Amino acid sequence: MRFRFTQFAVDTYSARRELLDLGAGGYVSFEGWVRDNNEGLEVTRLEYEAFQELGVKEGERIIGDALQRFPIKHALCIHRVGSLELSDMAVWVGVSSAHRGEAFDACHFIIDEVKHRVPIWKKEHYRNGDSGWVNCERCAGAPVHAHEHA
Amino acid sequence: MQLKIHYYALMREQAGRSEETLETFAATPEDLYGELTARYGFTLAREQLKVAVNSEFSDWARPLSSGDAVVFIPPVAGG
């Protein structure tokens, strides 16, 4: 599986090994971390929930799209679910390719598509005691994809 | 007709359950969302959602069949 969910901390060392290729001259990765603020509110922790059965299908399609669109060797994305603390890694994307340019481009493409297409929801807990599902409550009425949060 | 509904995130909290089996006359996901909004008071407009039937994205006008599994998909926020 080139897209998967995990309840545990992402093992980037193992994940990176899945991208090894004798024809690859480079590797680019992206880590999304839990930040302590969002839209003016102090965030203390997060919960991620996913519709995993559809999520892995859509995630696989995104990796497939990246492999068609960019001349890369391998790509992999791992997304956390469950409860996360500040600075925890929420998502990891890795891409290997012959040359660096396409690896950077594909990595950027994959994280953007994952944020927009994969059925994952994020509940933020705030210092002031409130909590809310991002894009569903505080942004209610706003068009989907109107906000970027990484 | 009997349908299986799974709820996630905000909709799970508003429905007060993560899944249920429902006896309904709703012919399409669109009809079903109207029926469930009347029951649970979902705050998200239909236009903000996507819908999946049997774990694949679906059209809102797709005819539903007995045994189908339906998931309403609120605005996503991965990453």
pLDDT in tens, B33-43: 999 999 999 99
The answer to whether residue A127 sits within a structural domain is yes
Q: Residues B79, A77: contact at Cβ < 8 Å?
A: no
Q: Provide the pLDDT confidence category of residue A137 given band limits of 50, 70 and 90.
A: confident
The range of the structural domain enclosing residue A116 comes to 3-133
**CB nearest to A121's CB, from B8, B50, B55:** B8
How close is the nearest chain A Cα to the Cα of B58, in Å? 12
Interface ipTM:
0.96
Q: Which of A23, A62, A6, A45 is nearest to A127 (CA)?
A: A45
Q: Which of A77, A107, A108 is nearest to A91 (CA)?
A: A77
pLDDT in tens, A1-42: 899 999 999 999 999 999 999 999 999 999 999 999 999 999
The Cα diameter of chain A in Å comes to: 52
Q: Residues A49, A81: contact at Cβ < 8 Å?
A: yes
The whole-number pLDDT of residue A44 equals 97
How close is the nearest chain A Cα to the Cα of B1, in Å? 24
The answer to whether residue A144 sits within a structural domain is no
Instruction: Please check the confidence at residue A149 and state whether its pLDDT lies above 80.
Output: no
**A150 neighbourhood in chain B, CB within 8 Å:** 79
Q: Which of A125, A119, A121 is nearest to A135 (CA)?
A: A121
Give the CATH superfamily of B2-73. Beta-grasp domain (3.10.20.30)
The whole-number pLDDT of residue A144 equals 42
The answer to whether residue A8 sits within a structural domain is yes
Instruction: Please check the confidence at residue A143 and state whether its pLDDT lies above 80.
Output: no
**CB nearest to A149's CB, from B8, B44, B79:** B79
CATH number for the domain that contains residue A113: 3.90.1170.40
Please give the Cα distance from B61 to A45 (Å, whole number): 39
Cβ A136–B10 below 8 Å, yes or no?
Answer: yes
Give the count of domains, chain A: 1
How close is the nearest chain A Cα to the Cα of B42, in Å? 11
b vs e for A110-131, b when ≥16 Cβ sit within 10 Å of the residue's Cβ?
Answer: bbebbbbbbbbbbbbbeeeeee
Cβ A91–B78 below 8 Å, yes or no?
Answer: yes
**DSSP reduced 3-state for A37:** strand
How close is the nearest chain B Cα to the Cα of A123, in Å? 8
Cβ B9–A136 below 8 Å, yes or no?
Answer: yes
- Average per-residue pLDDT for chain A: 93
Q: Nearest-CA residue of chain B relative to A111?
A: B79
Q: Residues A15, A94: contact at Cβ < 8 Å?
A: yes
The answer to whether residue A147 sits within a structural domain is no
Q: Residues A74, A8: contact at Cβ < 8 Å?
A: no
The answer to whether residue A150 sits within a structural domain is no
